[in-house]
Amino acid sequence: MIYSVTKMWVILIFSGVKIDIFTPLTKVSVKSSIRLFNKKHKDMSRLFQLVSLLFISCQLFAQDTDILRQKLQQIVSNKNAIVGVSIIGNKGKDTISLHGDTHCPLQSVFKFHIAIAILSQIDKGKWSLNQKITVKKQELLPDLWSPLRDDNPNGGSFTIVRLIQYAICQSDNVACDVLIRLLGSPKAVEDYVKQQGIKDIAIQYNEEDMQSSWDNMYENWTTPKAASETLQKFYDKGAKRLSNKRYKFLWKTMKETVTGADRLKGLLPKGTIVMHKTGTSGTNKEGLTPAINDIGIVFLPNGQHFIISVFVTNSKENNASNEKIIAEITKTVWDYYVTKR
């Protein structure tokens, strides 16, 4: 600090306090500047302490999520499979992934995407949830998984509500393809999802065509990160991508999913709320299983939740092992949030 109480012209500079060079200094002006300096020094000291605390907190927080990531890596390290994982937790502040940008076959996970595309069109007035759609007997293909066909071997008329429930809750393939025909094509589903800002997704085939050729399943793909982002966009009420009525119906239906009991829900405490959608491929004669998947939202005892997408891709493990991978990953994330929050 440089100052003078004579008639000399000087500049006083310290910690952002500046006296114009053309202003003659007096004892009063110098004392005022010093008082200002002291005040600003205290303020800066407090600011420095706050920044330091924030920096330390961020470092500790990053270390915590790094520990979680290491635990997830340990689960998959000795598995003969590519395991894609994406987690969004702590009110969106945590984003953790393994192979998060890997292209993974969707299989029946894409029925969630079909449902949101249909519900969006209903919001626009194109159809209604209670509108009935005729499903002819010849559409009940015998080689597709279909509780709807088993319940109604001669076909019938079904509301869109019922078709979505069959497709999501029981992963019904006939209901799925009926809904795709309503939308026009599988590409219409892809286009809608991409319009929501999700870029890493491709949907080229319906269930009938996807299952007609082994290679076709790889043309329906997404990434773990994109799957979690899609869940986040449509669960976030603030986004208002669906009307309140359609929103409540979607997540109630996801909560009622009965497939994949040994995946996301497999090791969680009984009664844990999980809103999810599974996807499952076959296994070829070489023992390769391209897809055992589960994506969803898991609720914690404190009412908070985390979003999780797990894709076990191109696995040489058996199905029980593939499902256990998903269950162990989910339980590890659950334990992390239960003990840390």
CATH number at residue 179: 3.40.710.10
Read off the pLDDT of each residue in 32-40 and give the average, rounded to a whole number: 59
Q: What is the pLDDT of residues 74-114, one digit of tens each?
A: 999 999 999 999 999 999 999 999 999 999 999 999 999 99
Question: Residue 178 domain-assigned?
Answer: yes
Question: Residue 63 domain-assigned?
Answer: no
Does residue 121 share a domain with residue 175? yes
Q: Which domain holds residue 103?
A: 81-340
Read off the pLDDT of each residue in 268-277 and give the average, rounded to a whole number: 98
Question: Residue 44 domain-assigned?
Answer: no
Does residue 165 share a domain with residue 91? yes
- What is the per-residue pLDDT for 14? 40
- What is the per-residue pLDDT for 237? 79
DSSP-assigned beta bridge partners for residue 17: 14
Task: Say which amino acid occupies 293.
Answer: N
Q: What is the pLDDT of residues 174-195, one digit of tens each?
A: 999 999 999 999 999 999 999 9
SS (H, E, C) 275-309: EEEEEECCCCCCCCEEEEEEEEEEECCCCCEEEEE
- Report how far apart, in Å, the C-alpha atoms of 154 and of each of 20, 58, 134, 176 are: 92, 61, 11, 18
What CA–CA distance (Å, rounded) separates 221 from 203?
7
Does residue 148 share a domain with residue 261? yes
- What is the per-residue pLDDT for 4? 41
65 or 175: which leads in pLDDT: 175
Q: Are 336 and 68 spatial neighbours (Cβ–Cβ below 8 Å)?
A: yes
Question: Residue 64 domain-assigned?
Answer: no
Does residue 91 share a domain with residue 222? yes
Total number of domains in the chain: 2
Confidence band for 240, pLDDT divided at 50, 70 and 90: confident
Across the chain, mean pLDDT equals 88
108 carries an active-site annotation: yes
Beta strands 94-98 and 104-105, pairing class = unpaired
219 carries an active-site annotation: no
Q: What is the pLDDT of residues 6-34, one digit of tens each?
A: 333 333 444 444 444 444 545 555 556 55
What CA–CA distance (Å, rounded) separates 193 from 172?
21
| Active-site position among 33, 86, 108, 120 | 108
Position 53 pLDDT exceeds 80 = no
153 or 22: which leads in pLDDT: 153
| Active-site position among 190, 207, 229, 323 | 207
* Alpha carbon 277 to its chain's center: 12
